Amino acid sequence: MFVSENLSVNEKNHLVIGKNDTVELAREYGTPLYVLDEDLIRKNCRLYKDAMDKYYGGNGLILFANKAFCSKYTCRLVNEEDLGIDVVSGGELYTAIKADFPMDKVYFHGNNKTVDELKLAVSHGVGHIIVDNIYELESLNEIAKDAGIVQNIMFRIKPGVDAHTHSFIQTGQIDSKFGVALENGEAYEIIEAAGKMSNVKVDGVHCHIGSQIFDIAPFEKAAEVMVNFMGDIKDKLGIEIDKLNLGGGYGIMYTEKDDPVPYDEYIKKVSEVVKNTAQSRGIKIPMILMEPGRSIVAPAGITLYTVGGVKDIKGIRKYVSVDGGMGDNPRYIMYESEYSAVVANNAGASAVEKVTIAGKCCESGDILLKDALMPEIKVGDTLAVLATGAYNYSMASNYNRIPRPAVVAVSNGEAKVVVKRETYEDLIRNDV
């Protein structure tokens, strides 16, 4: 009935997440409020790990893509589940450091890491840095030399597979700011250059072909291209690479229209491609890394709002305004992303009319759901927007000087604040 498996309706007709009544959560912690179901996050972590065990004999590591939801809490949580993490900035790395995350399981990405970020990573013993370009490679080699270490690195490769939404094409991906391309020889050149450097060790190759992908085929194609590339590197440069990082991008259900493939199924399909290609190229089956972000946290999160006003413009549109919006969920204004919503205090009600759920920011595009079929909504109702666990809190802003909401984690009927609600004082903290 709902897009996420952890949601249900109780005898009060209230929406329940895990075992917690969302109307009570809204009352106790205030709105807008992010709620994360810790049990579902753990379950999703295990699902990926189990698939790795099953299809790669355990020779793999799942990294949680931190940018989907970065906090000390999520770092600790995925560490408890024995996952690694990928970070994409000094700030995400700093969060992991402060959460005592084991640095050997941190993978540092980014197309323009600064010297300060690289130094922070090297000085804390970050396990792998995914090098994007030749300038970064040279700079990192110097930084590692100064620190007296040999830094493990991987390279971000553009496999020429461009996967967007429901289809994929095999050209064009060369036009991307991330990584080095195969078509023009860039990828060979950079690995050859790294092979001659004293303070970096080429330990793997990486690709990431997009996000919210529903097809298996582009993942299979990318895996095939990457393993063949590893074969070519061995044949041409004599460098044996034993780690293959296949990135993230697995789609989730935001609305009834989305139809994600069960993760186990495509890990199985991709593993067959990896094994077959490795065998035909005469190379060892590499250790496999995967970097799911959205698919681990998105379904585990909801955002609760209070309805403040209903504006029925006859014959035009009915607007329902809530006490949050693009500040806590900028995905509609950025990508026109679609979501589903539920009247949390009347969760079993059937849809009766089309309404547009608007935020409170001074932007006409500040919409959460456009033309959504909803039950009758009244002022004071609690509205839940579903599957907001990824790229909501992590993309939140203080636009209009609206404080960011708190994040509450629920587990087995217990709730706890894991990120505090911002105050007005927080907003002016850096004003001089």
Ligand X SMILES: *Cc1c(COP(=O)(O)O)cnc(C)c1O
> Of 131 and 357, which CB lies nearer to ligand X in the complex structure?
131
Cβ(9)–Cβ(350) below 8 Å: no
Residue 92 touches ligand X, criterion: CB under 6 A: no
Q: Which of these, 110, 71, 115, 63, lies nearest to 89 by C-alpha position?
A: 110
> Of 65 and 383, which CB lies nearer to ligand X in the complex structure?
65
Among 32, 159, 204, 248, contact with ligand X (rule: CB under 6 A): 248
> Of 247 and 359, which CB lies nearer to ligand X in the complex structure?
247
Pick the stretch among 1-9, 26-34, 247-255, 412-420 that binds ligand X (CB under 6 A): 247-255
Give the nearest distance from C-beta 62 to ligand X in angstroms: 11
Catalytic residues: 362
Tokens in use for 295? 């698919």
Give the nearest distance from C-beta 296 to ligand X in angstroms: 8
- Fill in the per-residue mask, 273 to 292: x = in contact with ligand X (CB under 6 A), - = not in contact: ------------------xx
> Of 260 and 375, which CB lies nearer to ligand X in the complex structure?
260
Give the nearest distance from C-beta 365 to ligand X in angstroms: 23
Tokens in use for 289? 């890394």
Pick the stretch among 31-39, 164-172, 241-249, 403-411 that binds ligand X (CB under 6 A): 241-249
Q: Which of these, 316, 324, 299, lies nearest to 356 by C-alpha position?
A: 316
| Helices within 196-256 (DSSP H only) | 217-237
Cβ(75)–Cβ(101) below 8 Å: yes
Cβ(153)–Cβ(202) below 8 Å: yes
Cβ(66)–Cβ(88) below 8 Å: yes
> Of 32 and 248, which CB lies nearer to ligand X in the complex structure?
248
Give the nearest distance from C-beta 366 to ligand X in angstroms: 24
Cβ(32)–Cβ(305) below 8 Å: yes
Q: CA 191 to CA 196: how far, in whole Å? A: 9
Residues with Cβ within 8 Å of 212's Cβ and at least 6 positions away in sequence, in order, are 165, 249, 251, 252, 294
Among 86, 117, 162, 186, contact with ligand X (rule: CB under 6 A): 86
Q: CA 207 to CA 227: how far, in whole Å? A: 11
Sort 233 into a burial class: Cβ within 10 Å, 0-12 / 13-18 / 19+.
Answer: buried
> Of 179 and 327, which CB lies nearer to ligand X in the complex structure?
179
**Structure-token match 């919503």, residue found:** 341
Pick the stretch among 40-48, 65-73, 132-140, 318-326 that binds ligand X (CB under 6 A): 65-73
Residue 301 touches ligand X, criterion: CB under 6 A: no
Residues with Cβ within 8 Å of 310's Cβ and at least 6 positions away in sequence, in order, are 318, 319, 320, 321, 377, 378, 379
Among 68, 227, 406, 408, contact with ligand X (rule: CB under 6 A): 68
Residue 78 touches ligand X, criterion: CB under 6 A: no
> What does each C-alpha distance from 75 to 1, 112, 249, 406 come to in angstroms?
31, 23, 20, 17
Residue 113 touches ligand X, criterion: CB under 6 A: no
Look at residue 98 and give its three-state secondary structure.
Answer: helix
> Of 249 and 286, which CB lies nearer to ligand X in the complex structure?
249
Among 109, 128, 243, 404, contact with ligand X (rule: CB under 6 A): 109
Length of the chain: 432
Cβ(352)–Cβ(344) below 8 Å: no
Residues with Cβ within 8 Å of 420's Cβ and at least 6 positions away in sequence, in order, are 406
Residue 61 touches ligand X, criterion: CB under 6 A: no
Pick the stretch among 62-70, 255-263, 269-277, 303-311 that binds ligand X (CB under 6 A): 62-70
Among 247, 299, 330, 403, contact with ligand X (rule: CB under 6 A): 247
Which residues within the stretch 183-212 sit at the binding site for ligand X (CB under 6 A)? 208, 211
Q: Which of these, 246, 416, 393, 419, lies nearest to 329 by C-alpha position?
A: 393
> Of 84 and 324, which CB lies nearer to ligand X in the complex structure?
84
Residue 65 touches ligand X, criterion: CB under 6 A: yes
Give the nearest distance from C-beta 160 to ligand X in angstroms: 17
| Strands 353-358, 287-290: pairing kind | unpaired
Which residues within the stretch 379-398 sit at the binding site for ligand X (CB under 6 A)? 390
- Fill in the per-residue mask, 159 to 178: x = in contact with ligand X (CB under 6 A), - = not in contact: --------------------
Among 218, 293, 299, 327, contact with ligand X (rule: CB under 6 A): 293
Q: Which residues bind ligand X (CB under 6 A)?
A: 65, 67-68, 86, 109, 208, 211, 247-250, 291-295, 390
